[in-house]
Amino acid sequence: MELEATITERRRQTRSNIYRHIHTATDFCSKQSLSNALSLSLPTVYQNLTELMEAGLVRYSGEQRSTGGRKAMGLEIVPDARYAVGISITENRLRFVAADLNLKELAYKKVYHEPVSEKSGFRAFLAEELERFLDENQLDREKLLGVGIALPAVFSPVAGNILLAPSLHLRDVTLQTLAGDLPYPTYFENDATSAGYAEWYTYGHQRDMAFLLLETGVGGAVLVNGGQYQGDNRRSGEFGHICVEAGGLPCRCGKSGCLEAYCSARRISDDLGIPLKEFFLGVSNHNSTYELLWDDMLRHLAIGVNSIRMVLDCDVVLGGFLTQYMEPYLPRLQEYAAAYNTFESDAGYLRLSKFRKHAVPLGVALHFVKEFIETI
């Protein structure tokens, strides 16, 4: 029995290796290239591919390439064979994303609601909105791997409860209170950690990096050696509460001068009472009030970015929905950051995330996608 179990596990691992190789292949992938790359015999490759194709997980890509004789058929995974849902919860908004096995968006929806701390029956509301999202987009529940939920919160490392979520006005709250009615596998994570991991996972060379999330709040994550550095209390990457101006603007954490107070999207909506799109249109049209505010935000952001660079000495990546408007201003931000830097004359280490709009829900959905790919 033990030998049989070992053989079965070995076969499963071989199948998993083949699937993962096809999933991550950046060049033409064929039976022969699989055999060469994984040091497997062609019959073994053929047998496992047959199983994967019968399961609807792998298919021929339609691409053919000549190898000197008969043209080889390309292989690819079936990206929508499974999917995961990511939900970002903020004070008065839910963002739903359904992502396939390539982390490509299948559907997206935004739902506004009363502040979480004031809304009675929130977990029933969340469950109802999730079912509505699945129905509206005709998503097959049989293919749903699980639901990831991202929050701007610090979680207890032992009990898994929310210790503190200042922007949600929550403290010492159980996860069941928010999502206890969901009938699917669930996973909870900090919003910035989710977005940062999505960026790291999909970035080519997967360097160490610090991720800075700019949304209604400001958070972050530190990705080192292929995993998140969490710190002693799971509070690593709380970049939003770096002090960038002593005695400065009040922050929702109760302190003053925090990066979040200066550089979150909330500052635009609170100071001017307008949507981001209207604000950046005004900046591009040289509205002096908007330009002054934006320049102040960039200068304080540069202070925070430089502090992160000084401490961690790695790439700094900016993500979150605020960054969808930032590309024209990245050179100016890099110039400001370089001016603060003791050791470098430029800030080439600073870049924008691949995921500008929905990094958080995509990132938390990635948990189930990655789990499926690694255990198939």
| CA distances from residue 36 to 21, 42, 64, 76, 224 in whole angstroms, order as listed | 12, 9, 18, 17, 31
Element (H, E) at 165: strand 162-165
Q: Which of 139, 85, 92, 147 is nearest to 114 (CA)?
A: 92
Distance CA 295, CA 336 (A): 10
Please, what are the domains in the chain?
2-77 (1.10.10.10), 82-195+359-375 (3.30.420.40), 204-352 (3.30.420.40)
What region, left, alpha or beta, does residue 27 occupy, with left being phi > 0 and alpha being psi -120 to 50 degrees? beta
DSSP 250: B
Give DSSP secondary structure letters for 168-197. GTEEEE-HHHHHTT--S-EEEEEHHHHHHH
What region, left, alpha or beta, does residue 260 occupy, with left being phi > 0 and alpha being psi -120 to 50 degrees? alpha
Per-residue pLDDT of the chain (376 residues; tens, 9 = 90+): 444 555 588 888 999 999 999 998 888 899 999 999 999 999 999 999 999 999 999 999 877 776 556 678 889 999 999 999 999 998 888 999 999 999 999 999 999 888 887 778 898 999 999 999 999 999 999 999 999 999 988 787 666 788 878 778 888 888 888 888 899 999 999 888 888 888 888 775 567 889 999 988 898 989 887 677 878 777 788 899 999 999 999 998 889 999 999 999 989 988 888 999 999 999 999 999 999 999 999 999 999 999 999 999 999 999 988 999 999 999 999 999 999 999 999 999 999 998 877 889 999 999 999 999 988 8
Q: Phi and psi of 259, rounded to 5°?
A: -55, -40
Helices 31-38, 2-24: crossing angle, 10 deg rounding? 120
347 token code pair: 């800030």
Predicted pLDDT of residue 91: 83
Residue-wise pLDDT for 227-259, tens only, equals 778 787 777 888 999 999 999 999 988 899 999
pTM: 0.83
